[in-house]
Chain A
Amino acid sequence: MSYSIRQQTTWAVVASISVLTTLFCVASYWVNRAILVHNFDEDLLLEFQSISSVARIWPDGDFYIDLDFDVATQYNAGGSRYFQAWNIELTDVIDRSPFIESTDSQWPLPTPTVTSEPVFSNMTVGEKTVRVVIQTIDAQWGWAEQQPDLEVADDIQDFSLVLMVGRDRDSLNNALFELGVWTALIGLTLVALSWAIVNHLVTRGMKTFALMSNKIEKIATTEESIPEDDWPDEIQPVVTTLNQLLARIDASVQRMRRFTADAAHELRTPLAELRLVTDVALRTPDNNERMRDAVQQANQLSHSMANMVNAMLHLARFQSGRHHPPLTDVSIDMPQFIQTVLDQYMPFISQRNQRVLFESAPPLTRMLDTDLCHIIFSNLISNATAYAPGGTTIRIALASTENGFVFTLENKVENIEPDDLEHFTQPFWRKGESRHQRDHVGLGLALVSEASQLMNLSLRFSLTDAHTLRCTLT
């Protein structure tokens, strides 16, 4: 399933910003709302105090709110302010603002309990939504200014009442509505802006990928790489990793190319021999002896080529990583095994007047694969007999160790330098360019190396002196 990093990133960031913006807007709304209500209540409380300062009781027990004219208009019909006073027992309404009087009604007490502390409440009366403050207060003495020394009954002097002062909530509601609208608009604008900015930035950031893709598209061979300059810090490691990958692929391709070229090159000589020997024989079809020789040589060449192809197939299988030999506790009589391999090469060893000294050990039982062992020992012995000068001695030793064995093979060599040792296990490597040893195409030690690795054996070559090569297998 395909997906877009740009879309995913944009939506993830926008979703996160939306949630944060929503939280911020809601919090902001509630804080501002609280401030607005608080300010409204402060004003209402001032209004209450103003009204309570003119809530007067008179010596005759008469009580009323003594409004100034300019203040009174706000409480008239068409005004936006209201008050109503109850006796302390809340049994009677003792005064009302002109608007309430004009409706000939009494407003209910919005709260069941009233104390000397102001209590704010909302109430709806008719079509009006009003915010009120209610508190128990002491009435002002109406005579205090004119006759401060007048003797008045105690119940008059101590007259208390419940006063409710209210204001239309319209202004507050409008302010709260505007606050909500603006908060929502700001929130939506922030979300939209964040979407646009994030989308733009991500698109811009993704251009680097498009550029990198473009540069990769232009790579035609594994020898090329992505230019490593001017990449953002985040992309640089990707470019470096891709270049390392390209380098590894190139090394692998070069190895394969070299292997293919070497294989083709190695096959050319036997093919040339096959072609020439048959060409020449066919030119003199009446020469039976030559024809017979040609057929024999062709047969011999076909065996050589088949051996080489088999060796290449073995090597390819070993190197593929898919060959897992069943390493079981096979009882291999190692001395006997090596002696058997050695016996196969005895005619050639005798022909070259070579001598073999084999120091054997008691029978060993190890986790080994018989076929791989045969490949290893036959190739090592075959190489030693082929490349050691005639008349020299080949020394083979096999010793048992705690968990394994040590196999050493020493033979005299000519023209081998210490630097050559590292090339010994490379496919098709041979010292010098001559290919006259048809049975040694340079795959034997490569096979030995791969087979040893498959059995977790360690293969090492060293020169004990300028003309003695030692191979150690442990």
Chain B
Amino acid sequence: MQILVIEDSDILRSSLINGLNDAGYSVQGAADGKVGLWTALEFEFDLIILDIMLPQLNGFELLEQLRNNARSSLVLMLTARDDVDDRVLGLRSGANDYLTKPFNFDELLARVEALLRRRAGFASNIIELNGIALNLNTKEVRIDNTIVRIPPREYCLLECLMLHKGTVVSREMIEQKIYDDAIELKSNVVDSAISSLRKLIDQPKKPSRIVTRRGHGYQIQ
């Protein structure tokens, strides 16, 4: 999952990036409104954590331009302003949620997860499919009621496939969801991850749960 943090406070921005990275998200940061808008328009993000009071371009203006450019990334607004009017304005400008500073990081994480889950059309934190149960909050994976330890890269891939269960996920989408800019993509990195995941979740002598759709991508069944 790709998250963009647009926040002018260095400490807040770096802490959010660290915390969200620890939670398994791929996170980028921007320190002012103009850079934040450029980054948001240039790359595809699942969710943007947006501060309102930004230098160069404030959060409301940035959000307006984002929506005008048909970007449908989820937006979680962060601000020290807790007036009802500000919250209403933020939500009406196209924000999906609103969090007032100071906030608890767990709460922020829960809201991020809830937003992403809602976007994927799930009401519960647990996505189940064909004996696999994936807990979006605890990142715990159970296969036939047995906890399976899955490394972060493979977990992200599984989460991406489970969130898009029933549909084919393209290779490009997998690349975007799983890896951040710092990692140089290699041509076989997706294949390698798919292969590792299959070893972890497939049952011996049974068809793979991940089906390859040639020319289109992968689908979990």
Interface, chain A (partner B; CB < 8 A): 265, 268-269, 271-277, 279-280, 283-284, 290, 297, 301, 432-436, 438
**Given A280-B19, A280-B22, A433-B58, CB of A269 within 8 Å of CB of B80:** yes
Residues of B within 8 Å of A275, CB to CB, are: 102-105
Which of B5-13, B164-172, B173-181 is found at the contact surface with chain A?
B5-13
Interface centre among A265, A277, A290, A433 (most CB of B within 10 A): A433
**Given A433-B58, A435-B80, CB of A272 within 8 Å of CB of B53:** no
Query: Shortest Cβ distance from A439 into chain B, in angstroms?
Result: 13
A-B contact pairs, 16 of them (CB 8 A): A268-B101, A271-B101, A272-B103, A273-B11, A276-B15, A276-B19, A283-B19, A283-B22, A283-B105, A297-B11, A301-B11, A433-B53, A434-B8, A435-B53, A436-B31, A436-B55
Interface residues on B, range: 20 to 34
Residues of B within 8 Å of A434, CB to CB, are: 8, 32, 53-55
Within 8 A of A (CB), among B1-52: 8-12, 15-16, 18-19, 22, 31-32, 52
**Given A265-B80, A279-B19, CB of A272 within 8 Å of CB of B12:** yes
Q: Knowing that A275-B104, A435-B53 touch, tell me 17 more A-B residue pairs with CB under 8 angstroms.
A: A265-B80, A268-B101, A269-B9, A271-B101, A271-B102, A272-B12, A272-B80, A275-B102, A276-B11, A276-B102, A277-B11, A279-B15, A279-B105, A280-B22, A433-B52, A435-B9, A436-B9
Within 8 A of A (CB), among B62-119: 80-81, 100-106
Query: Shortest Cβ distance from B31 into chain A, in angstroms?
Result: 8
Interface, chain B (partner A; CB < 8 A): 8-12, 15-16, 18-19, 22, 31-32, 52-55, 58, 80-81, 100-106
Give the complex CA separation of A432 and B19 in angstroms. 29
**Given A284-B22, A434-B8, CB of A269 within 8 Å of CB of B55:** no
Which residue of chain A has its CB nearest to the CB of B80? A268
Query: Shortest Cβ distance from B9 into chain A, in angstroms?
Result: 6
Query: Shortest Cβ distance from A290 into chain B, in angstroms?
Result: 7
Residues of B within 8 Å of A269, CB to CB, are: 9, 12, 80, 101
Give the complex CA separation of A428 and B55 in angstroms. 16
Main secondary structure of the interface of B (DSSP, over half): loop
**Given A268-B80, A268-B101, A297-B11, CB of A276 within 8 Å of CB of B16:** yes
Give the complex CA separation of A436 and B9 in angstroms. 5
Query: Shortest Cβ distance from A78 into chain B, in angstroms?
Result: 111
Is the Cβ of B9 less than 8 Å from the Cβ of A273?
Answer: yes
List the 10 shortest-distance A-B pairs measured between CB atoms, nearest first.
Answer: A272-B101, A272-B102, A433-B53, A436-B8, A279-B105, A268-B80, A280-B19, A434-B55, A273-B11, A271-B102
Query: Shortest Cβ distance from B186 into chain A, in angstroms?
Result: 28
Interface centre among A272, A274, A275, A290 (most CB of B within 10 A): A272
Query: Shortest Cβ distance from A262 into chain B, in angstroms?
Result: 11
Give the complex CA separation of A276 and B11 in angstroms. 8
